[in-house]
Amino acid sequence: MKKKNIIINTLLSLALGCFLLYIVFNKIDLNSFFSKLSEINYSWIYLSMFISVFEHILRGYRWNLLMQTPKTNLSTYVTTNVMIVSYFFALFIPRFNDFIRCYLISKTNKIKISTSLGTVVSERILDLISLFLILLIFITLEFDLFYSFLKEHVFINITLNPINFFWLLLVFLFLFLLIKYFSKSSKKFREKFTEFKSGLFSVKHIYTNKAFIVSTLLLWFIYFLMGYVIFFSFNETNTLGVNAGFAVLIAGSIGMIVPVNAGIGAYHFLVASILISYNINYESGLFFATLLHTSQIICLAILGVFSSIILFLKIRSNEE
């Protein structure tokens, strides 16, 4: 990706994030909002930040399982630091973290970027499938609440247009023909694409891997806990139960998909909106979302600095 494109992408994402934050906080009395900080039990915030460390460890361990071959000897410690640094970079350059971690893993281990990128795509697909399954569980538990939320916040803004589906199919067809053409005409492209496919389809051997399945379940449990424990940090949310925790997990995960820096704005709006369904007013829900999101950003920034130093020393020692 060219430097100019990266800068444009970053500025557009930042502008969109700032716009979303303005929309979300536009009608909030900020003096009243920040006065709530004196009412917080920060022990729960620190616990949530501590729990989030295990998210990165599990992500590093699980990615190792996808990249593992008889010829590789991957360290969870190194890969975890790679994951942390990649997400740290994503705070500044959104949607660029996957390329960063593939580059870093190629520097710390002898794994080709095209191969690791294929495993990243597999991992993202698995995450979406996992989110979908969790969503199905939530719909089963809270169907009326879920439907009313969609009706109020989603369906009202969606218009189905067959022309959009037609153009989408054309784009996929064009990409398919383009890849097929370059695969035949360019030997280098064919080699890189083969490496990418080997990483992408590494997932076909992982469904029966108990370590992968358990680590995935634990990862989503940790995501759940990171939000759930913060319920107890202030009075308005300390009576919320497990179902509300599931709702926050799903809303927050969807919010993080939006192409803005760290999901700012979209994350806050979706989490605050879903909590309205649990009799939490919008301002309190927004305060909760801000607490959870900000605490994780601070934790990631601290970890990111230390992990960057560790990887710098690691890469430097490999080059000597």
Q: What is the pLDDT of residues 292-308, one digit of tens each?
A: 999 999 999 999 999 99
Q: Between these two residues, 320 and 110, which has the higher pLDDT value? A: 110
Is residue 182 scored above 70 in pLDDT?
no
**Alpha-carbon Rg for the chain in angstroms:** 21
For all residues of the chain together, what is the average pLDDT?
Answer: 79
**Percentage of residues of the chain with pLDDT beyond 90:** 28
pLDDT at res. 129: 84
Distance of CA 56 to the CA centre of its chain: 11
Tens-place pLDDT, residues 55-81: 999 999 999 888 877 677 788 999 999
> Kind and range of the H or E element at 1?
none
Is residue 91 scored above 50 in pLDDT?
yes
Each domain of the chain, given as residue ranges in start order, spans 39-319
pLDDT at res. 199: 44
Position 157 confidence tier, pLDDT thresholds 50, 70, 90: very low
Position 8 confidence tier, pLDDT thresholds 50, 70, 90: low
Tens-place pLDDT, residues 12-30: 676 777 777 777 887 788 7
Report whether 242 contacts 137 (CB < 8 A). no
Q: Between these two residues, 193 and 176, which has the higher pLDDT value? A: 176
Report whether 94 contacts 11 (CB < 8 A). no
pLDDT at res. 19: 76
Tens-place pLDDT, residues 221-235: 999 999 999 999 988
Most confident of 6-15, 29-38, 258-267, 281-290: 281-290
Torsion sign, CA atoms 137, 140, 144, 150: positive
The C-alpha atoms of residue 232 and residue 218 are separated, in whole angstroms, by: 22
pTM: 0.77
What angle (nearest 5°) sits at the alpha carbon of residue 216, between those of residues 136 and 260? Answer: 75
Start-to-end CA distance of the chain, whole Å, equals: 29
Position 156 confidence tier, pLDDT thresholds 50, 70, 90: very low
Q: Measured between alpha carbons, how far is residue 142 from residues 4, 280, 282 in Å?
A: 46, 16, 20
* Length of the chain, in residues: 320
Stretch 158-179: mean pLDDT? 59
* 252 closest CA partner among 273, 235, 230, 236: 273
Tens-place pLDDT, residues 269-278: 889 888 888 8
Tokens found for residue 319: 């080059």
Position 111 confidence tier, pLDDT thresholds 50, 70, 90: confident
